Structure 1
Amino acid sequence: MIYVVLWLHALVWGALFLWSYWREPRQFRNAFFFFFFCACTLGAAAVTFDQWWITFPIFLAVALTPVVTIVFMLVNEVTLVRREGFSFAHALPLLFACAIVAWFCALPGALALQAPGAVVGFILAITACGAWFFLSFAALLLYSWLYRSLPRKRHYEFIIIHGAGLAGEELTPLLRGRVERAYELWVTQGRHATLVPSGGQGEDEEISEAEAMARHLRILGVPDTQMLLEDRSTTTWENLKFSRDLIAEHSSGGAPRSALVTSDYHVFRASMYARAVGLSADGLGSRTARYYFPTAFIREFIAITRSYWWPYATIMGLWAFTLFFRMLR
């Protein structure tokens, strides 16, 4: 009978995911629906077929994930610093590894030191916040892969290319990958879409990122008549907002469908922001160097989490309420 309950849970999560994805694929909640659907399906399959080895890798992965993650992040930190130098952004893998160690050591340490109840309660709340953080991280990593992988057989009228840093007046490898991915899409669609290079001029840049991308596109054979340069933006949000306004000025009416071409780790956040500014668009990703992906994805996840702070506030609010209630007794 238990397998019926498990399959029912899987069906419910699957139905919620399909409904939510059909309504709007660019929502953070889809990540959780898909994650719970996968977990329930694996559990139900293990019980139904009496093949517990299906769940063994899951438990093994859960048990080894902290150690594997810490080791992987430390190796990634060394590789990143060797290739691109040290900076605060490049220190994210090291900080993430340290946070995991602190998260796992905090509660046992407090219990071993016989810390006051208020301190233990606070650490329990932090532990719960950490559990939600890692669950969200795993769910988003899984769903962002799915979102990028699903085929999209649409015709796009506009192809927006998100800017990144320049090396003088030259494109960095990261930005060149985005431009050439957009060019491939443009060619695949019969060279009819309008390309929208989007990116302003930073303080340490000699020209705008939009102009640098346009120069590369001209070399590839894209005429100026099929390019609109958005050269004012300095953030992802501005990329999308200004590109939306530019497209509205040059479209024939209605809501033209656009493609957002950026690096693979950045696709989902860019798509979320596009939804927020009212831009009808799908995210498409260019490949990122393997050594750079973990750092970039952690940064993306933190940026998304800042907009979804309420679970952490709820957990800490419950701890504060409990502490206050005990003080009144």
Structure 2
Amino acid sequence: MADVALWLPAIVWGAIFLWSYWREPRQFRNAFFLFFFCACTLGAAAVFFKQWWITLPIALAVAFTPVITIVFMLVNEVMLVKREGFSLSHALPLLFACAIVAWFGALPVAHAARLPGVVVGFVLAVTACGAWFFLSFAAMLLYSWLYRSLPRRRRYDFIIIHGAGLKGKELTPLLAGRVERACELWNAQGRRATLVPSGGQGEDEEISEAEAMARHLRALGVPASQIALEDRSTTTWENLSFSRDLIAERSSVPDPRSALVTSDYHVFRAAMYARAVGLNADGLGSRTARYYFPTAFIREFIAISRRYWWPYATIMGLWAACTLVFLAFR
């Protein structure tokens, strides 16, 4: 009975994860279910087998991950600036490292400075928001890797290619990788899908991203009759919304299945948005340069966090309520 109780949390979280994934793999909550399942399984295994070294990776991760992350982000910032130049978006690794330092130091500094209780409470609430942020980040990193790694043996009716910036009329290496990954999928399933290059024309671009991708596809041997341009979108949400409408117009089946081809760091958010707009689609990723992945993934996570703001609002709301009660009965 004791053994059952020991493994029960892992069994429960595992069952919840499998049920949720089977129902809909494109949900953010799956990331937390998987994270809690892994944590409970490792903890139970350590106790059951009396092999406490099993928990050593967890302990080391908790103890050293912040320091390793800070060092890694600083090194990545230097590499990114050397290769791409400095910009606000390229400063994300540096800002992320600073946020980790501030998160660890805020509460001790507030306590040492003997700040008023209300201020210390506010710092505590912000620290709790930071804890949720970093937990969410770790959970999403784990789940997004799993989501894009699982094989999908399906035939797709449409293959949507997400746009990115151009160099004049030419594709950047990042965008060329997406187009070539889509072409690989098209060839692998017998050249039977319609490809949908999706991307409008930016203010500094000579042609639309969709047109540039279509030219590259034709150079790779895709006939023009199997290319449908979506050349109005300027955001990921519009990519999916406009592509959904285009697919509905061209499809001869009631619920066509689509593949979303984008960079690997962008796959999970694209899949989430596809679910939100009602598009029956799976995300597939093309490779991203290693030096660029951390910056891109942080940007993706921030974009997702903006849509799932309610945990932070709940924490700050509890702080506000407790503060009002404290001041009322002071």
If the length of structure 1 is used for normalisation, what is the TM-score? 0.99
Q: Compute the displacement of 1:183 (Å).
A: 0.4
- Give, in whole Å, the separation in 1 of the partners of 2:2 and 2:89: 47
Q: Which 4+ runs in 1 deviate beyond 2 A?
A: 1-6
What is the RMSD of the two structures over their aligned residues, measured on CA atoms?
0.8
1:95 and 2:115 aligned: no
What number of residue pairs does the alignment pair up? 329
Secondary structure at the aligned position of 1:96 is classed as helix
2:279: which partner in 1? 279
- Give, in whole Å, the separation in 2 of the partners of 1:257 and 1:103: 44
Secondary structure at the aligned position of 1:152 is classed as coil
Residues 6, 43 of structure 1: 8 Å contact kept: no
2:257: which partner in 1? 257
1:104: which partner in 2? 104
1:203: which partner in 2? 203
- Give, in whole Å, the separation in 1 of the partners of 2:43 and 2:20: 23
2:307: which partner in 1? 307
2:235: which partner in 1? 235
Q: Compute the displacement of 1:121 (Å).
A: 0.6
- AA aligned opposite 1:261: V
- Give, in whole Å, the separation in 2 of the partners of 1:205 and 1:64: 44
- AA aligned opposite 1:105: G
Q: Compute the displacement of 1:286 (Å).
A: 0.3
Give ranges in structure 2 of 5+ residues lacking alignment: none
Residues 80, 291 of structure 1: 8 Å contact kept: yes
Q: Compute the displacement of 1:267 (Å).
A: 0.3
2:157: which partner in 1? 157
- Give, in whole Å, the separation in 2 of the partners of 1:284 and 1:295: 20
Percent identity over paired residues: 82
2:55: which partner in 1? 55
Residues 72-91 of structure 1 show CA distances to partners (whole Å, capped at 9, x for unaligned) of 00000000000000000000
- AA aligned opposite 1:38: C
1:225: which partner in 2? 225
5 Å matches for 1:1-329? 3-329=3-329
Secondary structure at the aligned position of 1:55 is classed as helix
- AA aligned opposite 2:21: Y
Secondary structure at the aligned position of 1:146 is classed as helix
Secondary structure at the aligned position of 1:230 is classed as coil
Secondary structure at the aligned position of 1:282 is classed as strand
- AA aligned opposite 2:165: G
If the length of structure 2 is used for normalisation, what is the TM-score? 0.99
Residues 200, 210 of structure 1: 8 Å contact kept: yes
- AA aligned opposite 1:126: V
Residues 3, 47 of structure 1: 8 Å contact kept: no
- Give, in whole Å, the separation in 1 of the partners of 2:57 and 2:32: 20
Q: Compute the displacement of 1:3 (Å).
A: 4.6
Q: Compute the displacement of 1:113 (Å).
A: 1.1
Secondary structure at the aligned position of 1:153 is classed as coil
Q: Compute the displacement of 1:111 (Å).
A: 1.0
Q: Compute the displacement of 1:2 (Å).
A: 5.6
- Give, in whole Å, the separation in 2 of the partners of 1:38 and 1:322: 34
- AA aligned opposite 1:205: E
- Give, in whole Å, the separation in 1 of the partners of 2:145 and 2:300: 14
Q: Compute the displacement of 1:114 (Å).
A: 1.1
- AA aligned opposite 1:189: Q
- AA aligned opposite 1:213: M
- AA aligned opposite 2:220: L
Q: Compute the displacement of 1:57 (Å).
A: 1.1
